[in-house]
Amino acid sequence: MLSRRSLMLATAGAGWMLHGLRSAQAAEFINILTGGTSGVYYPLGVAISKLFAEKIDGVRPSVQATKGSVENLNLLQRGRGELALSLGDAMGFAWEGNAEAGFPQKLDKLRSVGAIYANYVQIAALRDSGIKTLADLKGKRLSVGAPASGTELNARAILAAAGLSYKDLGKVEYLPFGESVDLMKNRQLDATLQSAGLGVASILDLSTSVPINIVEVPKDVIAKVGAPYKAAIIPANTYTGQDAEVVTAAVPNYLVTRAGLADDLVYNMAKVIYENVPALVAAQAAAKGIEVESAGENPPIPLHPGAERYFKERKKA
């Protein structure tokens, strides 16, 4: 038989266990949808996750590697994530329900948190392939990113504006960044188109392994594609052997959430992200492109009320 003291200790222990269980149950899960591990979205998602864990009470963040923008937006619509990274053009297609882009129905639950850095369309070709221009891609082997990813949407748009289609290529591969680079190292691919922040790990790796050309996307081609694409510069020496700047297209990236998440939670997420940009830059140099003052302006889909509150407060401060 338990003594009175033992019974009290047992009861107290059970009480603490119950308290711990309730605390765990009360934790707010934040699943962050990113991209392939060799791209920019994934390390940024990891950095954001660490910030949330340190600075937002009562949350349990996690990071999920995905195929990128299109998959992320579809997962958000189905309630299988709380925060995602996405290209702006993919968001617009999702909001209108563009089936060709991977959105059979309008994704009406999506809400913007704010803009981050811009993706640069970066076409890296093996130097001995002879590819120096977009026209030189004809008959060549090109990887255009994972199927229906944001990168692949960019590839279709750029090639079409340059008067090319997938049928004009010798072979089309739908592969993540890292796998594309591996095939190029083995001379099984001639080029890879990757839509990512400057200094993306996969092309850095490629450029230190084999001689490459970074192929220009001319301004007249970018103008044919139109908004949200704009002309931008890949600075000289971004990659090994790239001794001159290269004109290409840039597309803004966004952080996206979904309707139904508590305003306070999204407010705190926005506040932590935009007030700790140096921590994001330390994780991925592309975050240098985050312009906090304009991050809430003119999103392709509605702002979440929590994010809207944060940006309004920031302007008043």
Q: What is the CATH number of the domain that holds 185?
A: 3.40.190.10
- Residue-wise pLDDT for 213-241, tens only, equals 999 999 999 999 998 899 999 999 999 99
Is 219 within a domain?
A: yes
Are 216 and 101 part of one and the same domain? no
Are 89 and 158 part of one and the same domain? no
pTM greater than 0.75: yes
Domain termination site, one of 251, 269, 301: 251
> How far apart are alpha carbons 187 and 209 in whole angstroms?
12
Residue-wise DSSP of 273-306? HHT-HHHHHHH-GGGGG--GGGTTSS-SSPBPHH
- Residue-wise pLDDT for 108-129, tens only, equals 999 999 999 999 999 999 999 9
Domain termination site, one of 217, 235, 251: 251
Are 152 and 179 part of one and the same domain? yes
The β-bridge relationship of strands 141-143 and 191-196 is: parallel
Q: Which of 50-59, 179-188, 194-203 has the lowest mean pLDDT?
A: 194-203
Are 52 and 169 part of one and the same domain? no
> How far apart are alpha carbons 161 and 158 in whole angstroms?
5
Average pLDDT over residues 300-316: 96
Task: State whether the Cα torsion 108-111-115-121 is positive or negative.
Answer: negative
Domain housing 38: 27-116+253-316
> How far apart are alpha carbons 144 and 78 in whole angstroms?
26
Are 159 and 177 part of one and the same domain? yes
Are 155 and 264 part of one and the same domain? no
Write down the pLDDT at residue 190. Answer: 98
> How far apart are alpha carbons 44 and 280 in whole angstroms?
6
Write down the pLDDT at residue 106. Answer: 97
- The count of structural domains within the chain is 2
